[in-house]
Structure 1
Amino acid sequence: MTHIPALRHAALSTTLGLALATAALSFSGQAASAAERVDVGLFAPGALSAWESRGFEGETAYRLTGTGATRVLEARCDGTASAIARRVPVDLNTTPVLHWQWRVAGVHQGLDERSKGGDDFAARVYVIHDGGLLKWRTRAINYVWAGSSEAGTHWPNPFTDQAMMVAVQSGAPRDATTWVSESRDVRADFKRFYDLDLDAIDAVAIMTDCDNAGGQATAAYRDLHFAPE
């Protein structure tokens, strides 16, 4: 049986092994062998059936807003933390670059984000290499919109050394209505942070959390996909 790894919480500090059986998830994507694009989260069709929820401290509210091609995923936490994860195999040899757009209404300020008490972020996007039965081999990279850590910095997750935190954006946005486009070479990042030459990743997750800070945060996500570049 394979497992999607846990995302983060004090109760899960010794492992990323999240006991979600394969049968409990909806598999709508296939590994890309010669694909030009692997869609992970378009959200335009209006369904989250391919995503599995995992609560850590209460529930972050995830909902689809908008209509048609403009539909997006909105997330709001209020002293809570939960994630949604999708198992979708992606061939990193052909489509190594993850693209997405996100926006936040604000950030958690004044936190030591490298500590357990400060491990809260208005927006996170995870990429996960599942170790399967060998759960200690699971590795994750957590791209975050940081509140205080400088953009471009990285550090080990304070709960587990199986996840690396990467600050892609930092600080409150000038305009909370503006979408920010991101792209990361996931294959290169696993090599850089773990010295792993990966051919594939197994899952992607999204989380907006504020259980440690005890405040509120609102974010939105759209157009998550992998491409050759």
Structure 2
Amino acid sequence: MGHTMKYLSRAAAAALLLLLAACATQPPATAPDTVTGSPWARASQGSSVHPWTHQAFPGKTPTEFRYARIDGRDAIAVKAQSSASMLRHDVRIEPHDLGRVRFSWKVPGLIADADMALRDKDDAPVRVVLVFEGDRSKLSAKDAALSELARVLTGEELPYATLMYVWCNQREPGSVIRSPRTDRIRKLVVESGPRRLNHWLEYERDIRADYERVFGEAPGALVGVGIMTDSDNTRSEAQAWYGPVKLVR
């Protein structure tokens, strides 16, 4: 117990910052009316009975999410103004059933000062987020302490592992960025630089292969999917459109 408390005391300040920066969250609220029941939500929900919800973060201004029909596509229009929040969908797919994830996005501009490897610049115009269960006994002492503190303060543990597909300003596609706040959040760059701005870009990723490459172990059950556009750290604005996010078994 003394050993654990030592890590808790050392991690307390960092954990509070972590909680305010989106690793632990407030209870999900109903998604905006323009999202719930929209063609985008139905296409993205698949066979799951769980609806999409709007996940706010403590101390953060929420990002705006709304359904839009753009370029002949069903989309979610997202606008961040020094804000951060997530549109989230709970699922349950066991490891042996993991397949692929298909998603698309259109980004009109990058966030000039963003750098996802730095705590005070960790913003992105688009993120597709996958959340996994796992063997929590493998967590480092620091991450276990952060998770326990998050549970005490919010009633919800930090996810065992979070994989994000992101658009980075400079790093090449295939690069892996570890969160400056916790090793259990890792970002896989799938798009880089301004060359393909203002175009709809389509992706299909092998979930298991990407997880194993990024985390170096086999995945646990996939328990959550989300989209996130954030500009809170750089105090800037960001806009994007997301096509449906589909899990293909």
Q: Does 1:128 align with 2:131?
A: yes
Secondary structure of the structure 2 residue equivalent to 1:214: coil
Return the TM-score normalized by structure 1.
0.75
Q: Which amino acid aligns with 1:146?
A: C
Q: Which amino acid aligns with 2:187?
A: M
Does the aligned pair in 1 maintain the 2:104–2:200 contact within 8 Å? yes
What is residue 55 of structure 2 aligned with on the other side?
A: 54
Secondary structure of the structure 1 residue equivalent to 2:190: strand
Superposition deviation, residue 208 in structure 1: 0.5
Superposition deviation, residue 215 in structure 1: 1.2
2:69 aligns with one of 66, 69, 81: 66
What is residue 226 of structure 1 aligned with on the other side?
A: 247
Q: Which amino acid aligns with 2:224?
A: A
Distance 1:92 1:62, change over 3 A: same
Please list the CA deviations of residues 156-187 of structure 1 after superposition, one character each: whole Å capped at 9, or x if unmatched. Answer: 111111110111111225451x2100121111
The 10-residue stretch of structure 1 (135-144 or 199-208) with the greater mean CA deviation from structure 2: 135-144
Q: Which consecutive residues of structure 2, in runs of 5 or more, have no partner in the other structure?
A: 1-14, 32-37, 137-146, 149-156
Distance 1:94 1:42, change over 3 A: farther
Does the aligned pair in 2 maintain the 1:109–1:148 contact within 8 Å? no
2:164 aligns with one of 126, 142, 163: 142
Q: Does 1:111 align with 2:132?
A: no
Please list the CA deviations of residues 73-116 of structure 1 after superposition, one character each: whole Å capped at 9, or x if unmatched. Answer: 11000111111111011244344211111111111124333101
Does the aligned pair in 2 maintain the 1:13–1:160 contact within 8 Å? no
Distance in 2, Cα, partners of 1:159 & 1:89: 26
Give aligned-pair identity as a percent. Answer: 24
2:185 aligns with one of 163, 166, 172: 163
Distance 1:197 1:119, change over 3 A: same
2:229 aligns with one of 203, 208, 214: 208
Structure number with the higher strand fraction is: 1
Alignment of 1:79-118 (within 5 A): 79-118=82-121
Q: Which consecutive residues of structure 1, in runs of 5 or more, have no partner in the other structure?
A: 1-7, 27-40
What is residue 17 of structure 2 aligned with on the other side?
A: 10
Q: How many residues align?
A: 203
Does the aligned pair in 2 maintain the 1:123–1:144 contact within 8 Å? yes
Please list the CA deviations of residues 201-225 of structure 1 after superposition, one character each: whole Å capped at 9, or x if unmatched. Answer: 0000110010111111111111211
Supply the RMSD in Å over aligned alpha carbons.
Answer: 3.4
Structure number with the higher helix fraction is: 2
Q: Does 1:76 align with 2:72?
A: no
Distance 1:204 1:139, change over 3 A: same
Superposition deviation, residue 62 in structure 1: 0.2
What is residue 180 of structure 1 aligned with on the other side?
A: 201
Does the aligned pair in 2 maintain the 1:127–1:203 contact within 8 Å? yes
What is residue 4 of structure 1 aligned with on the other side?
A: none
Distance in 2, Cα, partners of 1:90 & 1:126: 15
What is residue 43 of structure 1 aligned with on the other side?
A: 40
Q: Which amino acid aligns with 2:163?
A: I
Q: Which amino acid aligns with 2:53?
A: E
What is residue 139 of structure 2 aligned with on the other side?
A: none
Secondary structure of the structure 2 residue equivalent to 1:184: strand
Q: Which amino acid aligns with 2:55?
A: R
Return the TM-score normalized by structure 2.
0.69
